[in-house]
Amino acid sequence: MKISFGRMASRVRGIGLLELMLTLAILGVMLVVAVRYYGSASNAQEASALVNDFTTIKAAVENYLADNPATTSTSFPDLAKLVQQGYLPSSFSVTNKQGIQPAPNQWGGLVTVTAYQSGAMFKVAEAMIPMSVCKQAMGQLQSSLNHALGESAVAAPAKKGQGSGGASGGGTSSGGTSSGGGGKGATMPGSGATCGVSSTITVTYLS
């Protein structure tokens, strides 16, 4: 019986190449899964940070209005004043990279606080938020709002590469609590690289 060493060696080489290709394919799949998981976890963390910004600003405005009940919409403080007077932590930067107010968020987009009806209601807006973060943040923000009081949130895609906050409706004030109008549901962004998020938030006076 003749043994063909050449044929056996060729078969061994074929098996080795197949194993190598299979190993590379498995490693490729694992890499894709790892990248997607890291991206999803990072987006979720940034979305939580964004919602925390809204919550922190709301608390700062409530405390400011409790200490300054005569505040009007024309004298409503910007973020710089809230930081300077200790209502917001110093971690809230009060200027962007060009030294221009209002303050930027972690993506370089502007953060604004606008008062309505003599400071009875206010809107917080953040711009230039990555779209993947924006979508997750809207879900978290909606769950943190009091829809029974008319709190609402809106997201809108940025136009021509510029971040812009969405708009919210009017509001009413009664007793110690005031509320901004607007729908109860979230308006999700369509397409685009970045978006802006704005939220009309109720103010409960603490005094």
Residue spans per domain, the chain: 45-204
Give the right CATH number for 45-204 from 1.10.150, 3.40.140, 2.30.30, 3.30.1690: 3.30.1690
**pTM, full prediction:** 0.55
Residue 130 has pLDDT above 70, yes or no: yes
Question: What would the pLDDT profile of 78-124 be if each residue is shown by its tens digit?
Answer: 777 888 888 888 777 655 444 445 556 666 666 777 766 555 567 77
**Positive/negative CA dihedral, 161, 170, 201, 140:** negative
- pLDDT band at 72; cut points 50, 70, 90: low
- The three-point CA angle 113-199-92 to 5° equals 45
* Tens digits of residue pLDDT in 145-164: 777 766 777 777 766 544 43
By C-alpha distance, which of 201, 195, 182 is closest to 138?
195
Cα dist. 124→14, 129, 141, 155 in Å? 64, 14, 12, 12
Decide if 82 contacts 103 (C-beta within 8 A): no
Q: What is the pLDDT of residue 140?
A: 80
Q: Which is more confidently placed, 88 or 77?
A: 88
Q: E strands of 25-120, at which residues?
A: 111-116
The pLDDT of residue 207 is 36
> For the residues 63-88, what does the mean pLDDT come to?
76
The answer to whether residues 126 and 134 touch, using CB atoms and an 8 Å cutoff, is no
